[in-house]
Chain A
């Protein structure tokens, strides 16, 4: 299994809603990432978990809250988002011995 699975594929939420994005991989990768991608832009790193510990938080607003319950799962909890947070949210994973990022297909988020 060489897939990173993200759910849901699409999400529409209001500014007062609370929602969560989920990511799962069964490749045994010990690093997992959240990226944000705006249209026609490269992916922008938000968070990195390495061995289930938060290693990087790229000064992301607290309305985004990551969680890594175990080595296969990564969540991104969303609360009180702004319309400018509308984007494609990508999860990725990598193994320490490799230099490849494996990306999921993303969650297309629209904040109304």
Chain B
């Protein structure tokens, strides 16, 4: 019940195209759904996040779509750039006594080719 399923495992997109990564969760106790971006040799960094009472959130070229009834959410990267090439992890989290209990998806390695 703690799983977050993520697909695809890898994605190749041409520069200027749209990258789409999908995630699904099971536990309705999660109250925050962040996306983390990780470059090689670096730790993950928060990219964008959404709460379950919102259906869409857009920040620049990055958009999260959230479907609470289906327990699914997705990341759309518009006008994908080579600099977006990284591994993306969706996550689902909930507060637990002063800290965050975070469940990560399995990750998607995105390659944007010129």
Contacts and interface: CB of A to CB of B under 8 A. Distances in A.
A103 B45 contact: yes
Interface stretch (A13-21, A62-70, A74-82, A90-98): A90-98
Top 5 closest pairs, chain A to chain B, by CB:
A103-B43, A42-B104, A31-B99, A50-B98, A99-B32
Contacts of B34: 99-101
A62 B109 CA distance: 33
Majority secondary structure of chain B interface residues (helix, strand, loop or mixed): strand
A100 B51 CA distance: 12
Interface in B77-95: 89, 93, 95
Interface of B: 31-32, 34, 36, 41-46, 49, 89, 93, 95, 97-100, 102, 104-107, 109
B46 A101 contact: yes
Given A42-B104, A42-B105, A100-B49, A55 B97 contact: yes
Interface of A: 4, 30-31, 33, 40-43, 45, 48, 50-51, 55-56, 90, 92, 94, 96, 99-106, 108
A50 B99 CA distance: 6
Given A41-B107, A42-B105, A99-B93, A105 B42 contact: yes
